[in-house]
Amino acid sequence: MDSVNWLSIAIFVLGIIVLVGFFITKAKGFGRFSTSVVLLFLVLILSTLLYANGKLDEKVIASILFAVFGFAGGLFTNKGSEN
């Protein structure tokens, strides 16, 4: 096996560990926050696997990462002010 295969296996295993850890530590049910976080994890895992295998360009992965970080930042900000 070459280094690309080992890298793909490592990314996949790390992604599975992240998803299992998320489901173990989250509260019961799926709200807006839980669903969004699972989708972000899946997008990150899939895009890093594609990038590691040479299927995505550097500009595309950078755009995906900026979009994910921007969306995640929007999840954690308080949209409505409670007075």
**pLDDT for 30-63, tens place per residue?**
777 777 788 888 888 889 888 888 888 999 989 9
Using 50, 70 and 90 to split pLDDT, how confident is the model at 74? confident
The pLDDT of 12-18, averaged and rounded, is: 89
Integer Cα distance of 49 and 62 in angstroms: 14
Q: Give the domain ranges of the chain.
A: 3-76
Tell which residue, 74, 83, 69, has the closest CA to residue 33: 74
Using 50, 70 and 90 to split pLDDT, how confident is the model at 79? low
Using 50, 70 and 90 to split pLDDT, how confident is the model at 81? low
| Whole-number pLDDT of residue 80 | 59
Residue 75 in contact with residue 36, Cβ under 8 Å? yes
